[in-house]
Amino acid sequence: MKHFIEKTESILLWVLAFLLLAAVVLGTVDLIFIFVEILRLPPVMVVKPETLFHMFGEFLIILMGLKLIKLVLLNMPGHSSPMTAVVEVALIGVGQKVVTMDLKAQSPATLVGVAALILALSVSYGVCYYIQAQTKGKTAAAASDENL
């Protein structure tokens, strides 16, 4: 039964990774079309701020999709997902929300909450990165001791 569950989980994760990849490719194609339209339509090379916000938001969504694909592949049976990847995806998601957010329409409490969330995720990323670097350093030191 355990083998069946692991096999099913693996198949579903591959399907999710493929669907995410398809969504990222379609989003990239859409972003290319938006960019070509900006270059083609008069006034040439003049970009409205609304269009830039849309492009930046879509770019960050594509970036988040790529990170999610990496995260899904790291969650395959037999792999361990580093916490930094999870926090990285969360940071990109919050960053995308901040880029597309109308700051003038938000209450001060919402802005403070978003700032606190970004700070907490940044500290979490730093701690995870530090722990991961320390673990790799100990592993490398142990390997060099074995070679002596």
CB 66 within 8 A of CB 89: no
Burial class (CB in 10 A: 0-12, 13-18, 19+), 13: middle
Rg (CA), the chain: 21
The Cα 5–Cα 10 span in angstroms is 9
Q: How many independent structural domains does the chain possess?
A: 1
Q: Is residue 148 part of a domain?
A: no
Mean pLDDT by 10 residues, the chain (148 residues): 86 91 95 87 78 84 87 73 80 84 88 94 91 77 55
Whose tokens are 């673990």? That residue is 135
Q: Is residue 11 part of a domain?
A: yes
Q: What pLDDT, on a 0 to 100 scale, did the predictor assign at position 35?
A: 86
Domain limits for position 105: 2-142
